[in-house]
Amino acid sequence: MGNVVVVGAQWGDEGKGKLVDWLSEQADTVVRFQGGHNAGHTLVIGENVYKLSLLPSGVVRPGKLGIIGNGVVLDPYALAAEIDRLAKQGVIINRDNLRVAENVALILSVHRELDGLRESGPVGTTIGTTKRGIGPAYEDKVGRRAIRLMDLAEPDALPARVERLLLHHNALRRGAGLPEFEAAAIIKELMDIAPRVLPFMDVVWRLMDEERRAGKRILFEGAQGALLDVDHGTYPYVTSSNTVAGQAATGSGIGPGQVGYVLGIAKAYTTRVGEGPFPTELHDEIGERIGINGHEFGTVTGRKRRCGWFDAVLVRQTVRTSGINGIALTKLDILDGFDEIKICTGYRLDGHEIDYLPASQAQQARVEAIYETFEGWEGVTGGARSWKDLPAQAIKYVRRIEELIGAPVALVSTSPERDDTILVQNPFEA
């Protein structure tokens, strides 16, 4: 099976961009299957730095087809803006290299405003979203009132669909003491952007089947991380979609048997953006040092990320919920020069040791990390491209991670540069 799914094995920001770019060079088709423009990838290709939020990473490479699947929620204005930004960098996006599922749900101004309203609530009631309307758009999709891309091609039927949407949203706005949305304004918002996005519309499930039957290599690109999955993550501090590998099939319209190899991406430490539990979080100078060395600020929002030691309990859990075949371990070089390094091997909850993160929000808040302590290394791992370039203690650290998470390390990334990678197993050839 020549298809690969890339998923974040932590809370996102694991460095998927570099690995997806590296794999996209071997792929024919790159598919985004969930999320929206709330998650970003930074690609460093030679002297060029590309920041992508919606577009599949393969679009910056000639001859690749990028697909935005039905599992994504699409802000059409954000898509147009991203296409324009890339054009200024010399990357032209057209129907030859981008298709968007006709049944993708759209993010509108009503969603962005509702998201912002909720996130401006009292302390303790917010989730820590990016305020880009992702959650409310998914709510409308599940509530069967979403406006979908195909609706823009049927302007005569659009007013009735907008009225159905506003029946829900205006009730919420009245309850919050806000003025109601006018249907005419929403329709204009959609019709103004329609000419920019409709040329990319396609029947993606059929296109995917054609690509598969033609023997094309397909790379499925996830956004965020498995610990933000709406079912398997740290609920309610999660995103509004499924981020585990199984969503690759549902979010693009292929059968689960066509998914292939699942590559999980994990940092050599742990970070998180926004609210929610974080058992290994460091509130001291070590956490600050990791954040500074790792440039831990969000690609999309610029928000500072919370930092902590590697949590093997959580990654082992995502290995199982996503069926991960191998791990790409990133940012090993950020740990260079530490006197000692810790790995979380288990939790203590109410005096008892456990080997998983409970689903209960109250219990998640009470777990305490149990650590193994490792001697740090004096050598430099940054830029290493083979095992012999790594200090012995760094190799020992990687091998212990493999043991604890129950999955082999398929790649080790030692800098943002794509060639600074130690390849153990090529997922496309596994």
Active-site positions? 13, 41
Assigned token pair, 35:
């999320």
User: Residue 374 CB: number of other CB atoms within 10 A?
Assistant: 17
- DSSP for 51-93, written as a single string: EESSS-GGGGSTTPEEEE-TTBEE-HHHHHHHHHHHHHTT---
Assigned token pair, 280:
């290994």
- State residue 141 phi and psi, 5-degree precision: -65, -50
Q: What's the rounded Cα separation, in Å, for the pair 217 and 29? A: 6
**Nearest CA-CA partner of 372 in 392, 347, 344, 402:** 344
Q: Is residue 281 within 8 Å of residue 287, measured between CB atoms?
A: yes
Q: Is residue 198 within 8 Å of residue 152, measured between CB atoms?
A: yes
Rg (CA), the chain: 22
Q: Is residue 273 within 8 Å of residue 24, measured between CB atoms?
A: no
User: Residue 266 CB: number of other CB atoms within 10 A?
Assistant: 30
Three-class SS state of 353: strand
Instruction: Please name every residue paired with 374 in a beta bridge, in sequence order, or none if there are none.
Output: 341
Assigned token pair, 349:
């909850």
Q: Is residue 44 within 8 Å of residue 233, measured between CB atoms?
A: no
Task: Scan for tokens 């959650």, then name that residue.
Answer: 135
Task: Estimate to the nearest angstrom the gap between the alpha carbon of 87 and the chain centroid.
Answer: 24
Which amino acid is located at 91 in the chain?
V
- DSSP for 19-49, written as a single string: HHHHHHTT-SEEEE-SB-TTS-EEEEETTEE
